[in-house]
Amino acid sequence: MAVAWNQNKPGVEIAALTDVGRQRSNNEDAYLYWEPESDLEFRNKGRLAVIADGMGGYEGGQEASRVAVETVRHVYDRDFANNPQQALLSGLLAAHDNIQRYALEHPEFQGMGTTCTALAIADRKLYFAHVGDSRLYLIRPDAITRLTRDHSYVGRLVESGIVRSEDAQSHPQRHILTAALGSGKEILPDVSEHPVEIHPGDKIMLCTDGLWSVVSEPELADTVRSNPPAQACRALVDLALERGGPDNVTVLVLHIVA
């Protein structure tokens, strides 16, 4: 069943759903939605949503994604300083360090890492920070826009024109990441160059590659547009499972209602 938040702050409907899929024995995805309790802090910090897709073995990936979403939430709240974009960036950088520290303390998880896509909505503006190949979409009545780019080998091939975007989903090397939290000495997350203006009726979706690799963007857009968030999450996960569910599947949908 999709998780739907009955949050105290009006203006948005939110739901999320995760599934282990048909071919995995454990779920290495993680997600989070958070908003401050006090009205004053909420006016400043707004809303936060995070999604992560871990890698590194049975428990390594699961721990990496958990550390990522928890660290981003903690840092965003603690180090906000009236700058949502900087707080998101700081959160991902801290998560990178925390995952590497965890791996040093638990050698059996050496090589653990995770994608991470985090968004904040404050004062009618959307900010994001991103590493890996989980995706952030903005869905409007007339268009679906992917706000993130995939940090993957195939993503590079698409950007260079070697592989067509419509062929990327089935490319045999599509799962090879070029950047992940916990991997390498330094990490340089992508961030929104300018905040995106948000309007009533907009729908925002975070998802892992277990969804977008088997469900096309037109199908994603049609499903999200025509359903409330909880039903959209359920329909999309069911569609991914019908198509083999080769990976963990996680989706989070926000509908701006006012």
- The per-residue pLDDT for 160 is 56
Q: Are 251 and 23 contacting, i.e. CB atoms less than 8 angstroms apart? A: no
Angle 217-225/229-242 helices, nearest 10 degrees? Answer: 150
- The per-residue pLDDT for 166 is 52
- Note down pLDDT in tens along the chain; length 258 residues: 577 766 668 899 999 999 999 999 999 999 999 999 999 999 999 999 999 999 976 689 999 999 999 999 999 999 999 999 999 999 999 999 999 999 999 998 988 999 999 999 999 999 999 999 999 999 999 999 999 999 865 555 455 555 455 545 554 455 678 889 999 888 999 999 899 999 999 999 999 999 999 999 999 999 999 999 999 999 999 999 999 999 999 999 999 998
- The per-residue pLDDT for 177 is 85
Write the burial class of residue 222 (CB in 10 Å: 0-12 exposed, 13-18 middle, 19+ buried): middle
Q: Are 141 and 203 contacting, i.e. CB atoms less than 8 angstroms apart? A: no
Q: Are 174 and 213 contacting, i.e. CB atoms less than 8 angstroms apart? A: yes
Handedness of CA 234, 174, 91, 43 (dihedral sign): negative
Q: Are 35 and 48 contacting, i.e. CB atoms less than 8 angstroms apart? A: yes
Angle 60-78/84-105 helices, nearest 10 degrees? Answer: 140
Q: In the CATH hierarchy, which top-level class contains the domain 3-256?
A: alpha beta
- The per-residue pLDDT for 163 is 47
Q: Where are the alpha helices (DSSP H) in the chain?
A: 39-45, 60-78, 84-105, 153-159, 165-168, 209-212, 217-225, 229-242
- The per-residue pLDDT for 136 is 98
For the chain, what are the domain ranges?
Answer: 3-256
Cα within 13 Å of Cα(187), Cβ side: 32
Q: Which two tokens stand for residue 18?
A: 């995760």
